[in-house]
Amino acid sequence: MSIVPPSPRALGAVRRKAMNVSEQQLVTERLLSPDHALPLVIEPAVSGVDLVAWAARERESLEKKLLQYGALLFRGFNVTSVEQFDQVIAALSPGALEYMFRASPRTRVGGNIYTSTDYPADQMIFPHNEHSYSPRFPLRLFFYCHLPSETGGETPIGSTRAVKARISPQIEARFREKGVLYVRNYGDGFGLPWQTVFQSEDRGEVEAYCASVGIEVEWKDNNRLRTRQRGPAVVRHPRTGEEVWFNHATFFHISTLPERIRDSLQSNFNDLDLPTNTFYGDGEPIEPQVLESLRAAYLNSLVRFSWQQGDVLFIDNMLAVHGREPFTGKRAIMTGMAEALLSSDVAV
């Protein structure tokens, strides 16, 4: 995962403004912040509203709201367990997916529910779209707060519509033309081993999976592996039809890491041997000023909120990015993914 210092932009005071009460008077809706288009906060208007049952009944309506706002935050519904969280996912999607072609350490806590990224608490995780580097990615993401941290630990989110609007036409045009090349190396002592990434000890299984999704495989000595794949920078949302900025060009690039980690890696590896790195799709390096501009586009699009126990965050993975702030104390945020898509099916 790429880690950078927090954005200097501070979120102003949040004003609670009721936007709508459902016909059944069961829930209220409001924007978290008048300065941001997401998330839409949905809270029970009366006690005892069962989120699983209510969400299943309102699934079509919630789908429309998700496409409009990009993220929905369900708060105050008394979700208290991983099992309930899994049921919420099933009520709003075809069900949670297994975490495949991994890029970050996570722990399975039940079914296809995992801990959010198991990274050191003092590190920030740069905002990104989940699996936008992968030929197969989830359209929908879910987060559940089982235990908020003592301080920090927010999961900042931002609209990809806002990110794209902040990218210059010249930069966007070049990425549209060339795409993104992702180079990953496994087994060199940094990052996840290929056995964890692909959830297999069998080289043949790894090769078959990679061939099925267009990933080039290169076995190196001592059972090490390098993969390469090319992907689009801009894709078309299958439900709204709009074009969105959706890639890991910034997140996986070596320059997005903090200076201490970046210098350590570059002193040991060349650009093609790093755990993860990105290039233009033709293999040419991405210019430093372009990467700086892209990082600013992400960071200046974020909205932050403090987790409350029982919160469930429902994200359209193509319409919203997410990250993580440093924290202190114990923190238990669970995640699930749903509705797999192929990047080749949504490429512009």
Query: Looking at the predicted structure, is the pLDDT value of residue 8 above 70?
Result: no
**What single string gives the DSSP state of each residue in 236-257?**
E-TTT--EEE---TTTTSGGGS
Stated pTM of the model: 0.87
pLDDT band with cut points at 50, 70 and 90 for residue 187? confident
Gyration radius (Cα) of the chain, Å: 20
Question: Looking at residue 290, what is its pLDDT?
Answer: 98
Query: Looking at the predicted structure, is the pLDDT value of residue 110 above 90?
Result: no
Whether a cis peptide bond, with omega within 30° of 0, leads into 275 is no
Q: pLDDT tens-digit profile of 165-181? A: 999 999 999 999 999 99
State how far the Cα of 111 lies from the Cα of 146, in Å rounded to an integer.
16
State how far the Cα of 179 lies from the Cα of 202, in Å rounded to an integer.
31
pLDDT band with cut points at 50, 70 and 90 for residue 101? low
How crowded is residue 313: how many other Cβ atoms within 10 Å of its Cβ? 23
Query: Looking at the predicted structure, is the pLDDT value of residue 1 above 80?
Result: no
pLDDT band with cut points at 50, 70 and 90 for residue 104? low
Q: pLDDT tens-digit profile of 231-269? A: 999 999 999 999 999 999 999 999 999 888 888 888 888
Question: Which among 330, 320, 302 is positioned nearest to 152, based on CA atoms?
Answer: 330
pLDDT band with cut points at 50, 70 and 90 for residue 190? confident
Q: pLDDT tens-digit profile of 24-81? A: 589 999 999 888 899 999 999 999 999 999 999 999 999 999 999 999 999 999 999 9
Q: How far does CA 100 lie from the centroid of its chain?
A: 14
Query: Looking at the predicted structure, is the pLDDT value of residue 196 above 70?
Result: yes
Q: Is 346 strand, coil or helix?
A: helix
Question: Looking at residue 282, what is its pLDDT?
Answer: 96
